[in-house]
Amino acid sequence: MKSAMSTLHTPEQTAETSPPASADTSAKIELVGLSRDELAAELTAIGEKPFRAKQLWHWIYHQGERDFSRMTTISKAMHGALAEKFTVGRPGIAREQTSEDTSRKWLFRLDDGNEVETVFIPEEDRGAVCISSQVGCSLTCTFCHTGTMKLVRNLTAGEIVGQFMAARDSYGEWPSPTGDRLLSNIVMMGMGEPLLNYEAVAKALRIIMDGEGIALSKRRITLSTSGVVPLMDRCGEELGVNLAVSLHAVSDELRDVLVPINKKHPLKELLAACRRYPSANNARRITFEYVMLKGVNDSEADARELLRLVKGIPVKFNLIPFNPWPGSAYECSNAKDMKKFAAILNDGGFSAPIRVPRGRDILAACGQLKSASERDVAALREAARARKAEQANTTPERTTTE
């Protein structure tokens, strides 16, 4: 199945790897994704002192070590006991692809066979890992390919942290560097709506921000929401990460169509939540994402209305050229219109870069996630149907005497 899928999809530098060749881990407890308290409780349960949790935490999240026998500050006698009961895993990599523009995408196959995608987008002196929070999405934004899938399930905290850890494995970025890092930022902008899986996302981000492990600062983490207003306050108060809001329209009438959660939490409510967002100030502005849809939301009047709406909110804009997908009802705005739109926002005093799509050749750009593997499956089904039809045509009709 896997090799058949790879022949259908052969972009630049595609690598297929098997899920980690660990022994039978089914009966073992996965330590990645446990909070510090949970880790201490697990150790207490096997008769170890809770302070061992600090040592283990260091090995798992600072050193990136998965093999208990290499955890040299832990007594040899304890290695066996740990290995018998626990495992330090990663989501299995079904496929790793590197784009011509050097961005990299992983398709992870989870323990239950579900798949999610993670993308690394390197810049000159830093790079962001774009992480998924759900398999599919329960919201149905009409320009988003993930939105055409149903929500299959929420990811666990371990699966969320695991995406980042696997990305670091891939770049050999262990132990956690204290200075410059290649994988320096996280954006919760992959598949799914992170605020609709808040508990697991919050737990994962706390693990990632913990100063004795991966130690990524909240200033380097951005959570993108389509506007789940009731959880925006909690996100600001409890996590304090940067916020990005998928705005995409300046009227409720249009936003109801593009981002249907708007019917539940209309613009006025959403903008009020942005005004309240605790960590937002001039140094840490909220990002308003705005997908550029030809003839839909890209007029000069839209840009001017946008300026009026955001008055008093510390914002910057991120204009995202629409990435089409098979069957999508929209087109990307013309370059000239996008420039004009950006210029109006700039003249109003706001930063409004037009994002350069990255990783389009490996379908890693915004709104394209999961489409690749779904398309592979669709192509496989189509090929199987064609084979069947061909067989039916070439097989001589059976008679009752045969």
Active site residue 366: yes
42, 96, 117, 193: which is the annotated catalytic residue?
117
Residues in the chain: 402
Residues 230-259 that bind ligand SF4 (CB under 6 A): 246
Choosing from 56, 107, 144, 155, the residue that interacts with ligand SF4 (CB under 6 A) is 144
Of 68 and 322, the one with the shorter C-beta distance to ligand SAH is: 322
141 binds ligand SF4 (CB under 6 A): yes
How far is residue 240's CA from residue 387's CA, in Å, rounded to a whole number?
Answer: 54
Please report which helix (H) or strand (E) contains residue 237, including its range: none
Of 331 and 390, the one with the shorter C-beta distance to ligand SF4 is: 331
Active site residue 274: no
Cross-strand partners of 321: 292
286-292 sheet: strands from edge to edge:
14-15, 92-98, 104-109, 115-122, 127-130, 185-188, 221-225, 242-246, 286-292, 315-321
**Residue 190: exposed, middle, or buried by beta-carbon count in 10 A (0-12, 13-18, 19+)?**
buried
How far is residue 322's CA from residue 260's CA, in Å, rounded to a whole number?
Answer: 18
| Pick from 353, 132, 318: nearest CA to 223 | 132
Of 87 and 185, the one with the shorter C-beta distance to ligand SAH is: 185
Of 60 and 362, the one with the shorter C-beta distance to ligand SAH is: 362
328 Cβ neighbours under 8 A, 6+ residues apart: 143, 145
Residue facing ligand SAH at closest CB distance: 367
Full 3-state SS string of 77-101: HHHHHHHHHEECCCCEEEEEEECCC
Nearest approach in angstroms of CB 255 to ligand SAH is 11
Residue 106 partner contact from ligand SAH, ligand SF4, none using kind-dependent CB cut-offs of 5 to 8 Å: none
- The CA-atom distances, in angstroms, between 367 and each of 130, 328, 347, 358 are 12, 11, 29, 12
Query: Mask 274-313, x = binds ligand SF4 (CB under 6 A)?
Result: ----------------------------------------
Choosing from 33, 147, 162, 236, the residue that interacts with ligand SF4 (CB under 6 A) is 147
Of 214 and 247, the one with the shorter C-beta distance to ligand SF4 is: 247
357 binds ligand SF4 (CB under 6 A): no
Nearest approach in angstroms of CB 192 to ligand SAH is 6
Question: φ and ψ at 376, to 5 degrees?
Answer: -55, -45
Residue 43 partner contact from ligand SAH, ligand SF4, none using kind-dependent CB cut-offs of 5 to 8 Å: none
Residue 357 partner contact from ligand SAH, ligand SF4, none using kind-dependent CB cut-offs of 5 to 8 Å: none
Cis peptide bond upstream of 324, omega within 30? no
CB 334 within 8 A of CB 293: no
In this structure, the number of other CB atoms found within 10 A of the CB of residue 271 comes to 21
Contact footprint for ligand SAH (CB under 6 A): 141, 143-144, 189, 193, 224-226, 246, 289, 291, 320, 322-323, 366-367
32 binds ligand SF4 (CB under 6 A): no
Find the part of the chain contacting ligand SF4 (CB under 6 A) among 92-100, 107-115, 140-148, 296-304: 140-148
Residue facing ligand SF4 at closest CB distance: 147
Query: Mask 151-190, x = binds ligand SF4 (CB under 6 A)?
Result: ----------------------------------------
CB 325 within 8 A of CB 286: no
Catalytic residues: 117, 366
* Contact residues: ligand SF4, CB under 6 A: 137, 139, 141, 144, 146-147, 192-193, 226, 246
